Amino acid sequence: GIGIGPLRTETGAVTYDPGFMNTANTKSAITFIDGDEGILRYRGIPIEQLAEHSTYLETAYLLITGDLPTKSQLENFEVSIQERTLLDESFKRVFEAFPRDAHPMAVLQAGVSALSTFYQDSLDPFDTEAVRISTARLIAKMPTMAAYAHRVAHGQPLMYPDNNRSLIQNFLRLMFAFPVEDYLADPLIERAMEQLLILHADHEQNCSTSAVRLVGSAQANLFTSISAGVGALSGPAHGGANAAVMKMLDEMRENDISPRAFMEKVKNKEDGIRLMGFGHRVYKNYDPRARIVKGLADEVLERLGVDDERLDLAMKLEEIALNDDYFVERKLYPNVDFYTGIIYRAIGFPTEMFTVLFALGRLPGWIAQWREMVADPETKIGRPRQIYTGETKRDYRQLSERT
Ligand code: ACO
């Protein structure tokens, strides 16, 4: 059998490690995770402190530059983003071209990719000023694009961003201001959004970040590399999990399946179902982000006066899991996405937007990781090896000779 470890191929010894369970692709000074202890720090600062005190843009600055900004650095960074939230006018046609029922993640990925066609003056990965501008463009324009993806799907007009507002207020207005244009989100909701985005902002070499690095290692531009990250994040085993949790809870409610009965199905691996929002490649303990989100869910639902049965259902599932050998032995705990959907839904986001919100959150991390890679003299083009298992040499047979 083939296992993890050095293997001999025709060209020498290689390490076979499916899913890179044990292979470091890079050195990185951005994010520290201790999965056994349930610790997450950005640039050394615990996630709990950032969620409590920081903002999305300040955390983005920290991730990208390595340090918290001074007051004037933060103001300059915020202004450089605020002034770039608009999209080129003809960009709107890109969004209008998609079918109404297109998934917003697919639309977002296409939009991010299209930035390379509209903003060709900031594509050079080795030009520091170009990278600074493309960074600001991405952080500023992705929320606009995300809201446009939503608006087009609902047949609503594409509004202009209002740059007198914070990035998050602006995004919430672009999402929800219809038909009332002067929509202003409750400050608690704005703060909850900031916190959720901070919690998602980086997670070292996860699937989408690795995709960004791999594409970027070929010296592809930042926009193109990030669009690969959006694509990877759309998968249900990664960013799609937050929507999958909601779908799971909705199905349990609609079909009147009790938490216990559902958990039996999961444990028996019936139809391969998993408890979505549970388990993590790195955390073998409670995901520290999930703890914060759980508290936030309570707060937001109370503020909005929403009584969502799904929160009770999710809490029951968690309680069963924490006391069940199947989950305990496999060290399966709630991950960040177990409770996020309940908050997003309470704020008013449709399920298909959940993963888009994850993408907005993860964007600063993708950018920071891409920039770290570009600046690293040890970077080489990513090019994994394989263990060939196909046919040995055989000759081509003419069509007439094949039966
Ligand atoms: N429900 C039930 N059983 C599970 C779950 C789950 N959510 N997750 C893992 N297991 C079981 C597996 O069946 C396996 O059991 P076995 O040893 O009897 O075969 C064991 O736990 C190990 O699972 P793997 O799939 O090998 O673990 P891996 O590290 O490859 O997977 C993953 C991690 C993909 C996150 C997995 O736990 C999962 O599918 N979870 C549900 C989807 C999800 O929530 N994804 C979000 C990830 S976090 C994020 O992107 C923010």
Task: Give the helix/strand (H/E) hosting 25.
Answer: none
Whether ipTM exceeds 0.90: yes
How far is the C-alpha of 145 from the C-alpha of 246, rounded, in Å? 24
Question: Tens digit of pLDDT for each residue in 362-393?
Answer: 999 999 999 999 999 999 999 999 999 999 99
Catalytic residue among 200, 280, 325, 395: 280
Closest Cα partner for 125 from 367, 384, 383, 382?
367
Question: Is 281 near ligand 1, meaning CB less than 6 Å away?
Answer: yes
95-112 CB burial, b ≥16 within 10 A, e <16: beebeeebbbbebbbbbb
- Of 336, 335, 341, 372, which is closest to residue 356 (Cα–Cα)? 341
CA nearest ligand 1 atom 22, residue: 330
| Nearest Cα residue to 332 out of 342, 341, 344, 323 | 323
Residue nearest to atom 45 of ligand 1 (CA): 237
Q: Which atom of ligand 1 is nearest to the CA of 200?
A: 51
Is position 121 annotated as part of the catalytic site? no
Helix pair angle (187-199, 167-176), 10° resolution: 110
Q: Count Cα atoms within 13 angstroms, Cβ side, for 48.
A: 8
pTM of the model: 0.92
Q: Where do the H-state alpha helices sit in 166-221?
A: 167-176, 187-199, 207-216
Q: 274 CB less than 6 Å from ligand 1?
A: yes
13 bridge partner residues: 8
Q: Give me the pLDDT at residue 220, please.
A: 98
Ligand 1 pocket test, pick from 248, 283, 330, 358 with the greatest ligand atom count within 8 Å of Cβ, gives 330
DSSP sequence for 262-286: HHHHHHTTGGG---TTB--SS-SS-
Distance (Å, whole) CA 354 – CA 361 = 11
Task: Quote the longest CA-to-CA distance of the chain.
Answer: 76
In terms of phi and psi (left: phi > 0; alpha: psi -120 to 50; beta: otherwise), the region of 219 is left
Among 33, 199, 274, 358, say which to mutate for ligand 1: greatest number of ligand atoms within 8 Å of CB.
274
Per-residue pLDDT, 182: 80
Nearest CA to ligand 1 atom 24: 281
pLDDT in tens, the chain (403 residues): 345 555 655 567 899 999 999 999 999 999 999 999 999 999 999 999 999 999 999 999 999 999 999 999 999 999 999 999 999 999 999 998 999 999 999 999 999 999 999 999 999 999 999 999 999 999 999 999 999 999 999 989 889 999 999 999 999 999 999 777 788 889 999 999 999 999 999 999 999 999 999 999 999 999 999 999 999 999 988 888 889 999 999 999 999 999 999 999 999 999 889 999 999 988 998 899 999 999 999 899 999 998 889 989 999 999 999 999 999 999 999 999 899 999 999 999 999 999 999 999 999 999 999 999 999 999 999 999 999 999 999 999 999 999 8
Q: What DSSP element (H or E) covers 16?
A: strand 12-16
- Dihedral sign for Cα 208, 209, 215, 220, please: positive
| Helical axes 207-216 vs 222-233, angle rounded to 10° | 150
Ligand 1 pocket mutation, candidates 204, 230, 332, 344, criterion most atoms within 8 A of CB: 332
Question: What burial letters (b/e) apply to 364-377, b meaning 16+ CB within 10 Å?
Answer: bbbbbbbbbbbeee
359 in contact with ligand 1, CB cutoff 6 A: no
User: Which listed residue (202, 337, 376, 395) is catalytic?
Assistant: 337
- The position carrying tokens 């605020």 is 82
pLDDT at position 2, please? 46
Secondary structure of residue 13 in the 3-state scheme: strand
Q: Which residue has the tokens 């007439």?
A: 400
Which residues pair with residue 46 across a beta bridge?
41
Structure confidence by residue, pLDDT tens digits, 167-218: 999 999 999 997 777 888 899 999 999 999 999 999 999 999 999 999 999 9
Q: Apex CA 115: angle with CA 110 and CA 116, to 5°? A: 105
Which residues fall within 8 angstroms of residue 339, CB to CB, at 6 or more apart? 277, 290, 293, 294, 296, 297, 311, 314
Q: Is residue 280 among the annotated active site residues?
A: yes
- 76, 99 in Cβ contact below 8 A? no
In the prediction, which pLDDT does 8 show? 59
The answer to whether residues 335 and 174 touch, using CB atoms and an 8 Å cutoff, is no
- How far is residue 366 from each of residues 26, 215, 227, 233, measured CA to CA in Å? 14, 12, 10, 11
- Residues 36 and 284: beta-carbon distance below 8 Å: yes
